[in-house]
Copies of this chain bind each other. A is one copy, B any other.
């Protein structure tokens, strides 16, 4: 499971379990697209030092996802939430087309908005 999720996603979920240094290096490398050499220069350490630190951090992130599977669980939730939004839109459209009911309209709107909020 873990290996299918991107490092950026795993960093969002489990980053707070890493050291500050590991978290910044992974963030620079994966989110800010800095090279190992650039990070090394900015931090005043060797390229190999940066590389080792990132590798260790990746290992920890994958290990946490293998054990806890929470990023995967959230990903499944997101898929379900998208389907709920789609169904709510279909209800709104049919209801609007035939001018059926304000109550259906407002409930479909609530569902869409709730799902939107949950997906963030």
Binding site for B on A (CB under 8 A): 13-14, 16-17, 64, 67-68, 70, 73-74, 77, 80-81, 83-84, 87-88, 90-91, 94-95, 98, 100-101, 103-104, 107-108, 110-111, 114-115, 117-118
CA distance A77 to B87 in the complex (A): 19
Q: Say which residue of B80, B87, B104 sits within 8 Å of A118 (CB atoms).
A: B80
Q: Say which residue of B64, B74, B110 sits within 8 Å of A83 (CB atoms).
A: B110
Q: What are the residues of chain B within 8 A of A77 when measuring CB–CB? A: 77, 118
Q: What are the residues of chain B within 8 A of A83 when measuring CB–CB? A: 110, 114
Does B98 contact A101, Cβ atoms closer than 8 Å? yes
Q: What are the residues of chain B within 8 A of A84 when measuring CB–CB? A: 84, 110-111, 114-115
CA distance A68 to B88 in the complex (A): 31
